[in-house]
């Protein structure tokens, strides 16, 4: 009788072990890469999966988007400025078979590839482009990474540059450059204003020269403006035609 209990207990234990090894349940975002005697035999899931113990093994793969922080990288820009840049990488597995078979550790491989790609792509650009054109640089890095990780069955969905750290000396140099640029623009705008004003004066002079009556009206308007000012000194503008008339009379005498 005692032997029967031990027999039943042993059978129950074997059944439990068999079920533990044979029955697997995969969630909606999981897939199982199945190997039979070491050979790849398919991708299964989600749901209930039945395996042959010892003969078959299953490797779980998570299909959700992975967020991976790229540690700060020392980057030398094309204009020889040294900066530290870190970023965030978003990727997901689209082919579980290749992610397991083609690379031993896809997480570590993607991280190392992201670091080298970040240095390589940013090193082709000047500092001003890094600061002003992050969206374009993010797209360039994402495209480059996506092409290289495609063989691993990984899709890089986005890359976001977080911080670009510049040393204090370079910050002061950039501030001086920005101030010089503002002064240059102010001088250019002032010169353009002077040029436009001069062109308008020349145009007005031509119109007044064609119409003597207009010159007289302008003369009276100037007298009206002077009379309205509270000043102890009054200046009367002398018409140019009067000077010409006096000059001709002096030459005639």
pLDDT in tens, 75-118: 988 888 889 999 999 999 999 999 999 999 999 999 999 999 99
Residues 24 and 80 in one domain: no
CA 99 to chain centre: 29
Residue 1 inside a domain? The answer is no
pLDDT recorded at residue 19 = 73
Residues 70 and 162 in one domain: yes
Q: Is it the case that residue 211 has pLDDT exceeding 80?
A: no
Domain count for the chain: 3
Residues 110 and 187 in one domain: no
pLDDT recorded at residue 167 = 75
Residues 85 and 142 in one domain: yes
DSSP the chain: -HHHHHHHHHHHHHHHHHHHHHEEEE-TTEEEEEEETTEEEEEE-SEEEE--TTTEEEEEEE-SPEEEEEEEEEEE-TTS-EEEEEEEEEEEES-HHHHHHT-S-HHHHHHHHHHHHHHHHHTTS-HHHHHH-HHHHHHHHHHHHHHHHGGGTEEEEEEEEEEEEE-HHHHHHHHHHHHHHHHHHHHHHHHHHHHHHHHHHHHHHHHHHH-HHHHHHHHHHHHHHHHHS--S---PPPPHHHHHHHHHHHHH-
Question: Could you tell me the residue range of the domain that residue 26 belongs to?
Answer: 19-62
Listed as own residue / partner, the contacts of 233-242 with beta carbons closer than 8 Å and 24 or more positions apart are 239/215, 241/212
pLDDT one-digit tens code per residue, 173-199: 666 777 787 888 888 888 888 888 888
Predicted confidence band of residue 222 (pLDDT cuts 50, 70, 90):
low
pLDDT recorded at residue 235 = 57
Residue 131 inside a domain? The answer is yes
Residue 199 inside a domain? The answer is yes
pLDDT recorded at residue 249 = 52
Residues 72 and 154 in one domain: yes
Q: What is the mean pLDDT of the chain?
A: 82
Higher pLDDT, 131 or 224: 131
Q: Is it the case that residue 125 has pLDDT exceeding 60?
A: yes
Residue 234 inside a domain? The answer is yes
């Amino acid at each position: 009788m005692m032997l029967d209990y031990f027999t039943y207990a042993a059978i129950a234990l074997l059944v439990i072990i068999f079920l533990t090894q044979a029955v697997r349940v995969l969630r909606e975002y999981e897939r199982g890469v199945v190997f039979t005697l070491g050979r790849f035999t398919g991708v299964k899931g989600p749901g209930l999966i039945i395996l042959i113990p010892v003969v078959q093994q299953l490797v779980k793969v998570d299909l959700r988007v992975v967020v991976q922080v790229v540690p700060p990288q020392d980057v030398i820009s094309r204009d020889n400025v040294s900066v530290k840049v870190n970023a965030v990488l978003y990727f997901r597995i689209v082919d579980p078979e290749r992610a397991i078979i083609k690379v031993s550790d896809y997480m570590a491989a993607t991280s190392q590839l992201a670091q080298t790609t970040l240095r390589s792509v940013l090193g082709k650009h000047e500092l001003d482009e890094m600061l002003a054109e992050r969206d374009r640089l993010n797209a360039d890095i994402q495209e480059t990474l996506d092409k290289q990780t495609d063989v691993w069955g990984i899709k890089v969905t986005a890359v976001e540059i977080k911080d670009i750290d510049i040393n204090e000396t370079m910050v002061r140099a950039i501030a001086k450059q920005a101030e010089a640029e503002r002064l240059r623009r102010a001088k250019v705008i002032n010169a353009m204003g002077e040029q436009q004003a001069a062109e308008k004066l020349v145009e007005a002079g031509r119109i007044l020269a064609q119409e003597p009556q207009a010159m007289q009206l302008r003369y009276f308007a100037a007298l009206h403006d002077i009379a309205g000012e509270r000043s102890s000194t009054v200046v009367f503008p002398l018409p140019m035609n009067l000077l010409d008339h006096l000059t001709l009379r002096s030459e005639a005498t």
